[in-house]
Amino acid sequence: MAKPLKVGLAGLGTVGTAVVHLLQSERDKLTSRCGRPIEIVAVSARSRGKKRGVDLKKLRWVADPAALAADPGIDVLVEVIGGAGNPAKRAVETALAAGKPVVTANKALLAAHGDKLATIAERHGVALNFEASVAGGIPIVKTLREGLNGNSFTRIYGILNGTCNYILSRMEQDRISFGECLREAQRLGYAEADPTFDIEGHDTAQKLSILASLAFGTKVDPAAIYVEGISSITLADLDAAAQLGYRIKLLGVAVRTEAGIEQRVHPTMVRKDSAIAQVMGVTNAVTIDAEGLSPITLVGPGAGGTATASAVVADLADIARGVRTPPFGRPVARMTAVRKAPMQRHEGGYYIRLLARDRPGSAATIARRLAQRQISLESIVQRHEFQPGSNGQPGRSGDPVPVILITYATSEDAVRKALAAVRRDRVISGRPQVIRIEKN
């Protein structure tokens, strides 16, 4: 039998510990599949004395992750420290420059430095594998990079953040507010103490930048992504969506257009009968549109130690078998700069919720402003039920009336300009709620 693949593991948090457990518990099966054992021989972590529930007695400890990466006693580095900067960045660069393949689960590092790291890996002829960086246990990187590398992609979109999907699912199913759902997600460990990175869409944007690069051959560029979060979504929006046959999800979407690659993260209305609308709770899903194929949707756990460790170990198995592909599916020299499609040119249907002032001419003014921008309406719903007043009691006659508009395909620019004019006319109260509708 071939000699073991010796692994240095940087990071012993939830994911790192799960990787140790999986390699130890599945040792014989992995050896049979790969033709050689995969063994962790050295680790680096901040706390050596912490109880982690796995056997670490036989492993060497290295204080500095970069020193671990340079250690001649390891063949491959697994980086699960996290973060876009050091020590993760230095450790990965050190390993690649030393001619050692790297497996990482670090989406932030790849989003910030993916092109540079891919260049180093290519220069030294080693693998840079990162299946675990996007959508946890879903094999989306391998699917795009290898499984469908003969296809031309037109669109890729998905639910890439379990925290947001959990919150929107709970709000809809249990009829509780965004704030209450967020506190519950924090209590259960689905959301961080500071949840901004998740709920404002930035986590999804980092993952989308990686998927867009794999799908379209562009350089990784999170700055090219338009980002909105879910904090503005209310029960009124979820109710209206349900009545109209939709469900609201936070999606990351990358699509090829005549103007360039449109990349966007925002709350989105999807048809209830679509595959992605059925995905609830902390689960992730990714849909791929490719020429000559019906849409393919992959669904699975997007986070958690076991799911992420599964992806890490799959990448290690490829290295053990001698499989190596360009990190982003093609040589770095053939990756192109992102030609960003301006969000103002986005075209599609829109859900618009307004609070119209209860006075003659309000509806006519709204309709006129939309018509001036050539916005056609598929449906108009004016809700006459009592609305709560400022004291929480039912509203009175004369209070603003919710009006819900569903448009046919139009442009982002037209919608924004029409609503700006409506606000200047002072026929609505507050800011309009605008949610894009994604074709499924």
- Residue 253 is which amino acid? V
Dihedrals phi, psi of 7, to nearest 5 degrees:
-110, 135
CA dist 364 → 211, 361, 414 (Å): 44, 5, 18
* Those residues with Cβ within 8 angstroms of residue 407's Cβ, 6 or more apart along the chain or in another chain: 349, 350, 352, 370, 375, 376, 377, 378, 415
Backbone Cα Rg of the chain: 25
HSE-up (13 A, CA, CB side) for residue 72: 0
Whether 100 is a known active-site residue: answer no
Residue carrying structure tokens 């980086």: 79
Pairing of strands 38-44, 5-10: parallel
Residue carrying structure tokens 């040589």: 331
Tokens of 357: 């002032």
Nearest to 135 by CA among 331, 1, 333, 276: 276
Tokens of 25: 């518990």
Pairing of strands 38-44, 226-227: unpaired
What SS3 state is found at 315? helix
Tokens of 292: 């000559």
Q: What is the DSSP letter of 232?
A: T
8 Å CB contact between 5 and 74: no
> What CA–CA distance (Å, rounded) separates 64 from 77?
13
Q: What is the DSSP letter of 56?
A: -
> Of the listed 89, 100, 142, 207, which one is catalytic?
207
> What CA–CA distance (Å, rounded) separates 188 from 45?
25
Q: Name the residues annotated as catalytic.
A: 207
